[in-house]
Amino acid sequence: MKAWSMQAWIREGLERLRIYERWPLLFEMIHVRMAALHGANRAAEACRSFAAETVLHLLALAVFSAVLALASGAVMIPFCLLLMVFFVIFRVKSLETQVKQKRRRIVLELPELLNKITLLLHAGETLHQAIHRSSQQADESHPLYKEWVKLSRALKDNRPFVIAMEEFSRSCGVLEVSMFATNVLMNFKRGGSDFAFSLEELSHTLWERRKAAARTIGEEASAKMVFPMVLLFCTVMLIVAAPAVLSMQ
């Protein structure tokens, strides 16, 4: 509760100091990433919360730096300042990592969702019925299904289908979802087998993109394993060679 009150106080202070206007490029970059993570409607609020939380952590680092400077002398001050700069860079870069992970999860799951919609359409349901049925047991912790459930609720509230689908596409912020939304908006009025056939063609394309994303994940995992394997190899070589070197001495 105290941390939240402190964060609210910092947010108010940042707004009074007009920090967002003084560093527009930095906060514009953060705003873009927040829009990709939380949607355009919540991006501004998320950006302010992120800035306040970052400043709160920087204050904690400043207190730690002051204590360290008193204990070790002024020689540690440049190191502490450098640490604070790297912390801000790390926080901003972590947003980019979160956006990348969100988009990757959506790309991997979208073909599965499209298959469900296609099967329901072939079973004789309308598109609205297929959307509602597929969202009933959806896992809202997944970024794609979170937005899909929002789409279903918007349609139940009689929101225009075109507007709801466009908002769904923007909230996901992924090219593949934009392709899906565009395909639906272009073909859903025709209905029947033509609409289902267009979704099947799109499904084939999305499955190929999913395979490409899976290969990329595998390559990244292999690259991350290189350093531990080299380190393990050097350790084994040291263990094997050490007795021979000692015996020669």
Question: 23-67 pLDDT, tens per residue?
Answer: 777 778 888 888 878 777 777 788 888 888 888 888 888 887 777
pLDDT score for 223:
65
Report the pLDDT averaged over residues 106-110.
88
- Which DSSP string do the residues of 139-203 spell out, in sequence order? -TTSHHHHHHHHHHHHHHTT--HHHHHHHHHHHHT-HHHHHHHHHHHHHTTT-HHHHHHHHHHHH
pLDDT score for 227:
64
Same domain flag for 119 and 202: yes
State the CATH number of the domain containing residue 185.
1.20.81
Domain extent at residue 199: 105-213
| 10-24, 44-58, 182-196, 226-240: which is most confident | 44-58
Same domain flag for 157 and 199: yes
Same domain flag for 48 and 146: no
Residue 132 in domain: yes
Residue 202 in domain: yes
Residue 232 in domain: no
Domain count, the chain: 2
Residue 219 in domain: no
Same domain flag for 189 and 116: yes
Same domain flag for 109 and 207: yes
Long-range pairs, 240-249, Cβ under 8 A, ≥24: none
Question: 231-248 pLDDT, tens per residue?
Answer: 776 777 667 666 666 666
Percent of residues, the chain, with pLDDT higher than 90: 3
Same domain flag for 122 and 194: yes
Residue 227 in domain: no
pLDDT exceeds 50 at position 2? no
Question: 77-106 pLDDT, tens per residue?
Answer: 777 778 788 888 888 888 888 888 888 888
Same domain flag for 68 and 111: no
Q: Enter the DSSP assignment of 1.
A: -
